A = this chain, B = another copy of it.
Amino acid sequence: MRLLHTADWHLGRQLHGHSLLDDQAHALDQIVAAAAELRPDAVIVAGDIYDRAVPPHEAVELLDEVLARLVQDLRLPTLLIAGNHDSPARLAFGARLMRGAGLVVVGQAGASPPLVLEDAHGPLDIFGLAYAEPALVRAVLGQAVHDHDAALRAQIAALGRDPGRRAVLVAHAFVAGGGESESERPLSVGGSGMVGTDAFAGFAYTALGHLHAPQSFADGRIRYSGSLLKYSLSEAAHAKSATLVEIDAAGACRTEDIVLSPRRDVRILTGLMASLLQAPRSEDYVACVIENTEALAEPFAQLRQVFPNLLMIERPFYAAGTAVQGAGAEALRREVPDLFADFFEQSVGQALSAEEAAMFAEIHDAWQKAQRESG
């Protein structure tokens, strides 16, 4: 039995104001192509399908298209659960009518019948649990659960699974010990929001969503496939992938990474301006850490010539604070004519002559006088 596990698509998300829709479509093409080639018994998407409760309509169209290709064209049973970014009601619209076509959407909290697969070794049940706050689990199950750990255990207990059958769980949760990225929205403010891995005992495999770095627990039996794309600069070093899971007759499993190649990578480049400007031109989403200590003329505009999708620049050595940044702090206290001389030299490439400096000082004085008078 083979399952293709992916999660955290966050369709409709932006990165520093750049729409990622084309990047998401590009990565989803690879998921569909992998599904077509590998022919898994089912495809699993473990929550945060959309980036927000009301996604842009282009994201709705993209999901519609991808699901039609997986479920209708490739005839692959597909199971989606709602994550903490999804609207349960909006994601689950039409779920009952689509189930017959082979698409299982678990949007609302509470037990939903499993997707049942069959291989030579017998049946395998895939249970999907929608993300649910403890308060919602209390309301739905009528149990006094007060944190995410207890809430998830109560939901698992309520699944009513047959312990004699192989089973897979699909959930959206923060497993204790997992590594976070900056693009995940915390599940709990104050409380830990974490779930112990022993909650998943008895499942052949637990397909998780929420954490954006691919990572495994319990020898790979509990796994985050990771997100579709790098959704923050903190994920620049990640290798994003989907997970192909193989489950044998006894319920033992092994996983394999299906690497996803982004349309545009997310990279952080560090160096002096001169060397950054000599980098090969790239459409990647790039953040530049500029190590120069002095003032620079329009560094963002300059770097955007090389990196048209430049996300941001950082000037760690050109601001007040630390010893090194002291140079920057001092600059702020210098007089405007001095600063202009520096700026001129960096922009034009040669020093301001004494005559030019005098001319600027004169203009500056006149401007200051005018300011005082108008004030």
Q: Which residue of chain B lies nearest to A73 when distances are taken between CB atoms in the complex?
A: B96
Question: Which chain B positions have C-beta within 8 A of A58?
Answer: 89
CA distance A103 to B96 in the complex (A): 11
CA distance A54 to B87 in the complex (A): 12
Q: Using an 8 Å CB-CB cutoff, how does the interface string of A101-116 with B read, 1 for contact, 0 for none?
A: 1010000000000000
Q: Does A92 contact B (CB under 8 A)?
A: yes
Q: Using an 8 Å CB-CB cutoff, how does the interface string of A8-37 with B read, 1 for contact, 0 for none?
A: 000000000000000000000000000000
Q: Using an 8 Å CB-CB cutoff, how does the interface string of A329-358 with B read, 1 for contact, 0 for none?
A: 000000000000000000000000000000
CA distance A287 to B90 in the complex (A): 35
CA distance A97 to B64 in the complex (A): 9
Question: Which chain B positions have C-beta within 8 A of A103?
Answer: 94, 97
The copy count of this chain in the complex is 2
Q: Are B64 and A95 in contact (CB under 8 A)?
A: yes
Q: Which residue of chain B lies nearest to A98 when distances are taken between CB atoms in the complex?
A: B97
CA distance A90 to B57 in the complex (A): 6
CA distance A64 to B90 in the complex (A): 10
Interface residue count on the A side (C-beta < 8 Å): 26
CA distance A67 to B101 in the complex (A): 16
CA distance A98 to B68 in the complex (A): 10
Q: Are B54 and A93 in contact (CB under 8 A)?
A: no
Question: Which chain B positions have C-beta within 8 A of A139?
Answer: none
Which of B57, B88, B89, B98 lies in contact with A98, CB distance below 8 A?
B98
Q: Are B96 and A72 in contact (CB under 8 A)?
A: yes
Q: Does A194 contact B (CB under 8 A)?
A: no
Q: Are A98 and B94 in contact (CB under 8 A)?
A: yes
Q: Does A162 contact B (CB under 8 A)?
A: no
A110 to B: closest C-beta gap in Å? 14
Question: Which chain B positions have C-beta within 8 A of A61?
Answer: 89
Question: Which chain B positions have C-beta within 8 A of A96?
Answer: 64, 68, 72
Which of B54, B63, B100 lies in contact with A100, CB distance below 8 A?
B100
Shortest 5 CB-CB distances between A and B: which pairs? A57-B89, A97-B101, A97-B98, A94-B94, A68-B96
* Chain A residues with a Cβ under 8 A of chain B: 53-54, 57-58, 60-61, 63-64, 67-68, 71-72, 87-90, 92-98, 100-101, 103
Please, could you name 8 A-B residue pairs with CB atoms under 8 Å apart, sorted by A? A57-B89, A64-B93, A64-B95, A72-B97, A94-B98, A97-B98, A97-B103, A98-B98
